[in-house]
Amino acid sequence: MINNISLDSLCAALSYAMGIEAPKQAAPACRELVELVDKKLSGKNVDRIIMYNPDAIAQWVFEKYNDMFRDILAITDIALPFATVMPSVTPVCFGTMYTGSQPKIHGILSYTKPVIKIDTIFDALIRNAKKPAIVCTENDSLSKIYLERDMDYFFYDSADKVNQKAEDLILRGEHDFIVIYNGNYDSTMHKFGPQSTKALAALQANIKAYHNFLKLAKETSKDKNTLIGFAMDHGCHEIDGNCGSHGLDMEEDLNIVHLYKLFRSEN
């Protein structure tokens, strides 16, 4: 069964958390995330959002290898079962994640990486004097589709360098919205299969990276209400030849689970 919470509802919920108007063509906000913010902050806004975007970690992978997530689940406020969009490929899904709109509206309908021209959460943040940043590996979708905004972009040749820079940005505390992309699970599972030893090692690296971001977010949230998410774009499935793929209209590719934690400031 396909999850009933659409990924297009995330963008407006993140905007709500920040206390800003959602992008102009965004779908209504995810009720569950809005309720978490209201419950934990009692009418106050989030000061900072950190979005960790690992690629292609399917709900079925999350469920089958749930023990690998034990440490981050122990400090998770909410797990949200989303249905991503079709075709379930990276630029299409991230196009929806940060515009709140379906592919036919944001304009990416296949595995292409044009700059999105409609209103995005980055535009909404900039309009409200917020400072967003994207930290990503070079030539990947998130290094392409949200260019041409007055914001900070940091592109590197490896996930390790991306994560080092992201840690630095979190510690500096100069940005209000940080997007961090890691594509190592996706690239590995395509070659060796989603459950291969190498793919699971990449998954473990993603979990470790997010755990580090959680620790830093907590350490730097004394004066900042901080929402942090483990938020993938789509799932994956096994194919012949012990390889992996995605892009189809099937549960394995569409169903994903995001994890969110909200750290309250001490002020």
Q: For position 221, which CATH number holds? A: 3.40.720.10
The pTM (predicted TM-score) of the whole model is: 0.97
List, for residues 184-200, the tens digit of each pLDDT value: 999 999 999 999 999 99
> How confident is the model at residue 226, as a pLDDT?
98
Mean pLDDT, all residues of the chain = 97
In the block, residue with structure tokens 């902050």? 41
In the block, residue with structure tokens 């689970």? 257
List, for residues 45-86, the tens digit of each pLDDT value: 999 999 999 999 999 999 999 999 999 999 999 999 999 999
**Cis peptide bond N-terminal to 81, omega within 30:** no
Is the predicted pLDDT of residue 267 greater than 80, yes or no? no
Chain centroid, CA 256 distance in Å: 11
Q: With 0-12 CB in 10 A as exposed, 13-18 as middle and 19+ as buried, what is 148?
A: exposed
Domains: count for the chain: 1
- Percentage with pLDDT > 70 across the chain: 100
Q: With 0-12 CB in 10 A as exposed, 13-18 as middle and 19+ as buried, what is 240?
A: exposed
Crossing angle of the two packed helices 159-172 and 197-219, in degrees rounded to 10: 10
**Residue 25, CA distances (Å) to 22, 32, 105 in order:** 8, 20, 8
Cβ contact 54:229 at 8 Å: no
Range(s) of the domain holding residue 185? 5-263
Residues 6+ apart with CB under 8 A from 99: 11, 23, 25, 26, 105, 106, 116, 118, 119, 120, 121
> How confident is the model at residue 227, as a pLDDT?
99
- Percentage with pLDDT > 90 across the chain: 98
Is the predicted pLDDT of residue 240 greater than 90, yes or no? no
